Amino acid sequence: MELLAAHLQELAEQIEAYPVSSRSELEQFKAYFLGRKGVLSAYFDRLPELPREERARWGRQLNALKEAVLARYERLRAEIEAREAQQSPIGDLSLPGRRPFVGGVHPLTQTLRTIVRIFTRMGFAVAEGPEIETDWYNFTALNFPPEHPARDMQDTLFVDSEVLLRTHTSPVQVRVMERKPPPIRIIAPGRVYRNETISARSYCLFHQVEGLYVDEGVTMADLVQTLQVFARHMFGPSARIRLRTSFFPFTEPSAEVDVSCFLCGGTGCRVCKGSGWVEILGCGMVDPNVFEAVGIDPERYTGYAFGLGVERIAMLRYQIDDIRLFYENDLRFLRQFPIS
């Protein structure tokens, strides 16, 4: 028994002294003591040779040695891994992978794409024009009188007395009609700029989608029908529209269009401020003076036009209450709009 005790004592020392400096030596170490032909296994195998009353005591001692092997094994493994992590030029290979950052589509772009898709399906082509415009395209050709308040420095960002940042997408109407005889059926999405005080409701730039349809015999009924179809596709099958008379220099008659509040269905809520309706666009029949300016015969042709605000629609669609959120590029905001 004394001899056995001495052997086990020696084994305990060997367990701590066994040289390990690599992963393969670590595995050798474990196998040497605990493998099927290992040192400790041999002792376990011979336990039955001991007198019955001695077995439990020595069994416990052998188990303690086995635990010592496993404890050192774990300790060394952690050390080796930490060392490898430091040495690896690309960091700790044992860490779990990082999800790659996938970009999204900006909520304004998503809304713009939806609007464009609805109109192109109805047969509208997409037209574009410059964001830096002349006074002629932005105002004069659109029948703005010389002293019209919209030309005021307060609203318009001028480059010089003749050149400015367009304040709406309506100049694209002029550019298209100048280039091509009717029939014309286009939408013109794009950025517009205004010299306004920045607040939750207005920003120095925003987006519009212009619409223009010119042909023989185009009537206000065509306009209403087209906008009704648009509203249903944009806001859902139960959406209704209403027209309120209004004024724009380039249309006569002119109207502003409201859509029934898609949130409350018309009963009144926070989004529609209790009225059941929200304004989404301006429209009207193209003024004969505009046709004259681009050389289209107003006796032969008629047309309708409309201009809608993309931010407005996106804010309604997503219930966003501050327009500035679109332009701050705060990822906490943007991540709420997964790719659609």
CA 149 – CA 156 distance, rounded (Å): 10
User: Should residue 190 be labelled a site residue for ligand DAH when binding is judged by CB under 6 A?
Assistant: no
CA 234 – CA 251 distance, rounded (Å): 24
DSSP string, 59-107: HHHHHHHHHHHHHHHHHHHHHHHHHHHHH-TT--TTSPPPPPPPP---H
230 vs 248 by CB, closer to ligand DAH? 248
What does the radius of gyration of the chain's CA atoms come to, in whole angstroms? 39
User: Should residue 306 be labelled a site residue for ligand DAH when binding is judged by CB under 6 A?
Assistant: yes
Only one of the segments 17-25, 45-53, 231-239, 302-310 lies at the binding site for ligand DAH (rule: CB under 6 A); that segment is 302-310
Q: Which stretches does DSSP call E strand in 177-217?
A: 184-193, 205-215
CA 304 – CA 251 distance, rounded (Å): 8
Write down the least CB distance from residue 248 to ligand DAH, Å. 4
User: Should residue 307 be labelled a site residue for ligand DAH when binding is judged by CB under 6 A?
Assistant: yes
Only one of the segments 7-15, 220-228, 301-309, 323-331 lies at the binding site for ligand DAH (rule: CB under 6 A); that segment is 301-309
Only one of the segments 89-97, 222-230, 234-242, 281-289 lies at the binding site for ligand DAH (rule: CB under 6 A); that segment is 281-289
User: Should residue 115 be labelled a site residue for ligand DAH when binding is judged by CB under 6 A?
Assistant: no
User: Should residue 313 be labelled a site residue for ligand DAH when binding is judged by CB under 6 A?
Assistant: no
Write down the least CB distance from residue 307 to ligand DAH, Å. 3
Answer whether 66's CB lies under 8 Å from 34's CB: yes
User: Should residue 251 be labelled a site residue for ligand DAH when binding is judged by CB under 6 A?
Assistant: yes
25 vs 256 by CB, closer to ligand DAH? 256
Degrees, nearest 5: CA angle 128-129-134 = 165
User: Should residue 194 be labelled a site residue for ligand DAH when binding is judged by CB under 6 A?
Assistant: no
